[in-house]
Structures are given as C-alpha cells and as structure tokens.
C-alpha cells in the first residue's frame, strides 16, 4: 500500500536521526501519512513533527520547535530517491512529492491485479496490509419478518450490508452473512398474517388489522393448490415458507446472498431459549421480582437518577405495565435486568401470561450467533431507522451472556451505583461484561430513503395501496434504462443503478433517491459515469493491443504529466480506502472513490495521448496506468456489488 511504503521511508529517516543522536530513541509517536489539503502542496504529507515536537524537546532539554524538527526530518528525507521534492510548510507540515519510479513500482502491482477478483483473490492489489489479526465476523442484515416482500426501505440495508461484507472480506477478515428469520410461533404479526391468508383462502372477510395486498393474495392462491390446511398454525408455517422463498429470490436478484437463513423458531424448538433464561437467572441478571428499574440518563449517558416502579399487572414487550390488568397465569413477568449494563430500563423476557418476548429470543440468538463463523470475534447487526432503541438492549443481551462471576473489588460506589449494584464487585463485573459487549457487538443503523420524482417526494406505493417492493424498483429502473435488453440485462442494469444510489450517501444519514436521475442514461447519472470510465479504459486497451501488439517494453521512468500523477495517486489510494471502510463501515466512501477515479481517468484521457507514436516507453507507462486504473475501478465496483461493463454506448457523446 502506497501510504504504508511512504510511512516506512519516513520511519527509516527517523531511525537514522535516532542513530545520530538528533532525536530520542523511545516514546516517539506513530507516523501518519495523509493527503495534503491542497493538491499543489504535494502528493502526501505528515504532521509528525508537530505531534512529536514536545516529546523531543523534553528529551533534549530544549524548547519545543515543531518547524525546526520538521526541517531536520525533511533534510534527511531529501536524500531519499523515493521523493522528488520535500517541503516544510506552516508550523511543521512535511509535504512530499513522490518520484516517478516510486509511483511506478506500485502501479505495476496494481496493473498486475487485472483478471483477479478483489473479494476472492488474496493477492489482489486492493487488499490492504492488515496490521492487526484478521477477525471472524458475523454480519446480520435485512432480517425482515416473513410476512411481506423486501421493501424499497429494506433495500438500503440490503445494499449496505452486502457491500460491507465484501469490504470486510477484501480487508482480510472471515465473514459470515446471516439473515435472521423472525418466525417465532408466538409472534402476533405472523399470526395475523397467517389469519389474513387463511381468510382469503376460505373466502371470509379479513381479520381486523389484517394484511392486505397482492402479495397476500398470491400466497393464498399458491396455498389453494397445495395440501389442505386446517389450523392457523399450519397456515402460518406454509405462508412463511412461501414468503421466505419470495424474499430470497428478490434478494438474489438484487445481488444479495446469505450464508445462513437462521430460524428464530429453531431456538424455541431446541429448548435453547428456555435454557438461556435459566442461565441468566442463575447468573443473577434476570429475576421475577415485580419491580422495574429505569435510569434517568443525562448528558453523555450519565446516570442522573434511578426510578423503581412496582409491576403488578400484565406487561408488554417494552416493559410498559397495565396496572389494572390481572396476571393471566398468576405469575409475575421475568425481567432481564438490563439496566445493570447501561440500558435505560429493564426488559421483559417472559410476560405474565407465559408468552416469551422478542428479547428472550435475542438472548439465545446472540449466544448462538457467535458460532457462525466458529468462535466469531465480532457480531455486526444492521438495523433499520426505527431501531435506535434496540442498541442498548442488544448490548445488554450480549453483556448478560458474557458476564462472569464477580471478583473482589475495593472501589467506592456512588449513590446511584449503591442503589443499582449493591457492591463494587458486582458493579465491576457488569462493567467488564458491557465492555466486552461493546468490543464484540456493533450495531449499525441505516436511515430512511426519500424517493424523489419530478423534484417532489414520490409516494412509493402502488395505486392499489400495495407497498412498493425492492424488486419493483429494480425492474422499473431496468426497463427504463435498458428498454431493448433481455430480462437478465434489465435486471443487471436496475440492480446496478439501485445499489449504487443506495450506497452513494452515508448509511446513517437520510438521503434522497432521485428516480429521474437514476433512469437517466447520461454522464449526469453517477452509475453510468463510472461504468463508462471502465468501458472506456477497456476500449483504450483493445485499441492499444491492435496498434502496439504484445511487444514487451519497459515503461518510461520520467517526469509525469500532472494528469498522470493525479490518476496514479487516485488509483493507488484504493487499498487505503478499503482499509478505512473496513474500520468505520462507511461503505459510501467507495462510491465516492469510484466517481473520483472515473473523473481522474477522463481528465487524464482528455489531456494525455496514451499511444505516443515513436515513444514506446511513454506508451508502455500510460498503458500500464490504464490497466491499473481498470483494475482499481473494477475492484471498487465489485465491492459495491455493481457490474463493470467492458462496452457501453455513451448517450452524451451523440
């Protein structure tokens, strides 16, 4: 990776200064290399001197002088042939212009990735240097109830989750893609869905608040031709099976495939949920005392006060009580004392009528999920915009599973800690469990998508009131942008556009999906702009093969045209972008990168003749740059789950 190579060269310079006694040999900060804010300052820069100046001054017994330290380091770097120019700017920035030979070494590696797949092939140029050990990661995403199609809202989570899995794999991690089927028999939503299907099959009116829509009728029609069903439970099982098959088909058409479709009900059938609840009671983090604890949280999540509420009636999933109601079973509800782990209130595991809540299944599921892949280091759960309240409770679930026997502690307790924990050892045990949960569970929330048509919000429902499914969006875009194509070609075009648009903006911000722009076949459409850059490179390489042939010529190591340099630097930044994305999960960075790379190539192509008659070394260098740009652009699109066509018509050229 280019930035790592540059960092190593700076480290070598610092080691020489240490040997000369110019700077201390210990306690020095890590060298960080970044792109300068202004392109004319150089290719890369480091602020190391500004960070290290105080430590160096203290060790040498002098005054802190960041610029003087920067000049000292720059003087050492100027003798390194890796750099064409080394300048000191401002209070102590060191700006670096790389030598053509240094850039060409990395370009050769990038170009050699042509034909390799960034996700499958470990030797692909785009894979970053992994400084920490590779992790085993379970990524759960989409996971909607099997009572309807995958909607356009869930499409954003599907695009984000699958692209994130691609990036994590490319970064060297072992990734397991998982879909959690919310098919528990106690689910009121699934019961109502089954009742709705049954009513249609039997020619009866739909139940109150029943499910409507053509997809419900389609399930009912499919069941009419099958074995006779007699009970709601049988209808629920059959309806779920058909709906899951439909969801799986739609997701595959969108380019999303899972390693595991995990059934919630399987945990109940195996007795795992009940066993987990008994384990939590044995650990002291669950009990049936008729009291709910709530935390009043202030700024920064700090606990301001604790409220204890007596619970004598029926309780909902959220823990809201109905004081006047009598317990059906005569037993109090079972509580997860999730406030022990920072959740804002305790959660109900088993209702007073004996039915289990969703969070009871979550306890068992999050324990079991660490088995996929085996001994998983981390769980990443992708949830929709209405699930912010789940973050605290899911961390509490994982912490409750991980908590170990309290050890002795002599630390002091605050007033609220005394009330909540009772002892310092129990407080510390809970804190350690929550810390482990924070390290092993990541919850990513994707925000709403607003669809825009003719500059106005588009109601994404059909005329008959049916919800607008993701597959409908893919098909509609595909038919518009590829009217004369086959069904497979239309599906590919619709998938490419939809995925790219979903991934253009950060998943944690609301964004507008411009349907008019998505269906426009011109450079204004960012998908086509990027794809055309790839097709254009392929065309250049085809023409070059005809004009130049396969003669091996060493690329010229000479002064680069400014547009060559800009393109080379953008090409070589891909491993760094993959590394950053694998660290902070901001997949939109790669969509931005692909647009910038396409723009850099178009600018290079317009300014530089690739095939220079009579100058084979320059031609060889620019063809190598084209191959490297092609490999990096294809890799970025592959990570996003978007195709890289080798031939395209450019409507804006007509």
DSSP reduced 3-state for 491: helix
The stretches of 482-615 forming alpha helices (DSSP H) are 487-503, 515-518, 526-548, 562-572, 574-584, 588-607
Return the DSSP state at 521: -
- The span from the CA of 47 to the CA of 327, in Å, is 66
- The span from the CA of 253 to the CA of 491, in Å, is 7
Domain boundaries, the chain: 2-98, 104-114+523-653, 268-371+386-445
- The span from the CA of 397 to the CA of 401, in Å, is 6
Q: pLDDT means per 10 residues in the chain (654 residues)?
A: 94 96 93 92 96 91 89 96 96 97 95 94 89 90 94 96 98 97 82 94 92 91 91 93 97 98 95 97 96 91 91 56 42 93 95 90 97 97 93 97 85 92 94 97 96 85 64 95 95 98 97 94 94 96 80 81 96 96 97 98 96 90 96 98 90 42
CB neighbours of residue 427 within 10 Å: 20
Identify the bridge partners of residue 309 per DSSP, sorted by sequence position: 292
> What does R_g of the chain's alpha carbons equal in angstroms?
30
Q: What are phi and psi of 66, to 5 degrees?
A: -55, -40
pLDDT value for 324: 33
Cα dihedral across residues 392, 393, 398, 401: positive or negative:
positive
pLDDT value for 147: 92
pLDDT value for 551: 59
Task: Give the angle subtended at the CA of 610 by the CAs of 606 and 611, to the nearest 5°.
Answer: 135
- The span from the CA of 600 to the CA of 562, in Å, is 11
| Segments of 32-173 assigned E as strands | 44-46, 83-89, 93-98, 136-140
Please compute, for residue 331, the number of CA atoms within 13 A of its CA located in the half-sphere on the CB side.
Answer: 12
Contacts of 83 (CB under 8 A, 6+ apart): 9, 77, 96, 97, 98, 99, 102
User: 204-255, pLDDT tens digit by residue?
Assistant: 999 998 998 889 999 999 999 888 999 999 999 999 999 999 999 999 999 9
pLDDT value for 328: 46
- Bond prior to 373 in cis (omega within 30° of 0): yes
Whether the CB-CB separation of 86 and 36 falls below 8 Å is answered with no
User: Which residue's structure tokens are 């990443």?
Assistant: 380
CB neighbours of residue 79 within 10 Å: 10
Measured CA distances, 190 to 140, 144, 152, 201, 359 (Å): 21, 12, 21, 17, 17
- The span from the CA of 289 to the CA of 291, in Å, is 6
- The span from the CA of 627 to the CA of 438, in Å, is 42
The stretches of 225-349 forming alpha helices (DSSP H) are 232-253, 264-269, 272-283
Whether the CB-CB separation of 534 and 630 falls below 8 Å is answered with yes
CATH superfamily of 104-114+523-653: Isoleucyl-tRNA Synthetase; Domain 1 (1.10.730.10)
Whether the CB-CB separation of 164 and 245 falls below 8 Å is answered with no
pLDDT value for 306: 95
pTM tops 0.75: yes
CATH topology of domain 2-98: Gyrase A; domain 2 (3.30.1360)
User: Which residue's structure tokens are 């990570």?
Assistant: 639
DSSP reduced 3-state for 297: strand
């Amino acid at each position: 990776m280019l930035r790592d190579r540059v960092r190593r060269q700076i480290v070598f310079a610092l080691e020489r200064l240490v040997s000369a006694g110019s700077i201390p040999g210990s306690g020095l900060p890590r060298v960080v290399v970044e792109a300068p804010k202004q392109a004319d300052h150089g290719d890369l820069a480091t602020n190391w001197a500004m960070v290290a100046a105080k430590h160096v001054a203290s060790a040498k017994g002098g005054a802190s002088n960041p610029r003087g330290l920067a000049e000292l380091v720059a003087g050492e770097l100027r003798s390194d042939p890796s750099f064409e120019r080394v300048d000191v700017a401002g209070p102590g920035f060191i700006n670096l212009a790389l030598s053509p030979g240094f850039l060409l070494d990395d370009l050769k590696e990038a170009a050699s990735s042509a034909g390799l797949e960034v996700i499958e092939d470990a030797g692909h140029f785009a894979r970053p240097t992994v400084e920490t050990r590779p992790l085993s990661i379970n990524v759960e995403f989409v996971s909607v109830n099997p009572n309807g199609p995958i909607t356009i809202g869930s499409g954003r989570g599907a695009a984000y989750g699958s692209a994130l899995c691609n990036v994590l794999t490319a970064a060297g991690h072992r990734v397991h893609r998982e879909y959690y089927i919310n098919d528990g028999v106690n689910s009121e939503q699934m019961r109502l869905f089954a009742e709705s299907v049954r009513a249609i099959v039997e020619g009866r009116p739909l139940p109150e608040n029943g499910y409507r829509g053509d997809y419900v009728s389609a399930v009912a029609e499919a069941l009419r031709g099958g074995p006779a069903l007699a009970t709601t439970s049988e209808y629920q099982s059959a309806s779920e099976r058909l709906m899951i098959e439909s969801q799986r088909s739609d997701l595959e058409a969108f380019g999303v495939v899972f390693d595991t479709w995990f059934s919630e009900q399987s945990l109940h059938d195996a007795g795992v949920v009940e066993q987990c609840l008994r384990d939590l009671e044995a650990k002291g983090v669950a009990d049936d005392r008729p009291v709910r604890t709530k935390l009043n949280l202030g700024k920064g999540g700090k606990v301001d006060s604790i409220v204890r509420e007596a619970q004598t009636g029926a309780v909902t999933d959220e823990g809201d009580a109905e004081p006047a109601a009598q317990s059906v079973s005569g037993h109090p509800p079972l509580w997860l004392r999730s406030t022990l782990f920072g959740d804002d209130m305790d959660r109900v595991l088993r209702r007073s009528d004996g039915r289990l809540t969703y969070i009871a299944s979550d306890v068992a599921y999050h324990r079991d999920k660490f088995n996929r892949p085996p001994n998983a280091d981390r769980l990443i759960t992708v949830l929709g915009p209405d699930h912010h309240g789940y973050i605290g409770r899911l961390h509490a679930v994982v912490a409750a599973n991980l908590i170990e026997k309290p050890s002795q502690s002599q630390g002091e307790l605050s007033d609220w800690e005394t009330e909540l924990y009772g002892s310092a050892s129990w407080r510390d045990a809970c804190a350690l469990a929550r810390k482990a949960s924070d390290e092993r569970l990541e919850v990513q929330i994707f925000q709403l998508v607003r669809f825009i048509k003719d500059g106005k919000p588009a109601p994404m429902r059909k005329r008959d009131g049916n919800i607008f499914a993701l597959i409908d969006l893919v098909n509609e875009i595909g038919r518009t942008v590829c009217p004369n194509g086959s069904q497979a070609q239309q599906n590919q075009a619709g998938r490419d556009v939809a995925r790219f648009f979903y991934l253009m903006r950060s998943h944690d911000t609301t964004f507008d999906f411009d349907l008019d722009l998505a269906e426009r076949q011109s450079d204004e459409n960012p998908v086509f702009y990027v794809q055309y850059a790839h097709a254009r490179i392929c065309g250049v390489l085809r023409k070059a093969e005809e004009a130049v042939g396969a003669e091996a010529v060493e690329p010229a190591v000479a002064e680069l045209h400014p547009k060559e340099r800009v393109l080379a630097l953008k090409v070589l930044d891909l491993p760094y972008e993959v590394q950053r994305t694998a660290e902070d999960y901001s997949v939109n960075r790669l969509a931005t990168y692909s647009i910038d790379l396409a723009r850099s190539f178009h600018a290079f192509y317009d300014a530089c003749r690739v095939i220079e008659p009579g100058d084979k070394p320059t031609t060889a260098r620019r063809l190598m740059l084209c191959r490297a740009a092609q490999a990096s652009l294809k890799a970025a699109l592959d990570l996003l789950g978007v195709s890289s066509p080798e031939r395209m018509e450019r409507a804006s050229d007509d």
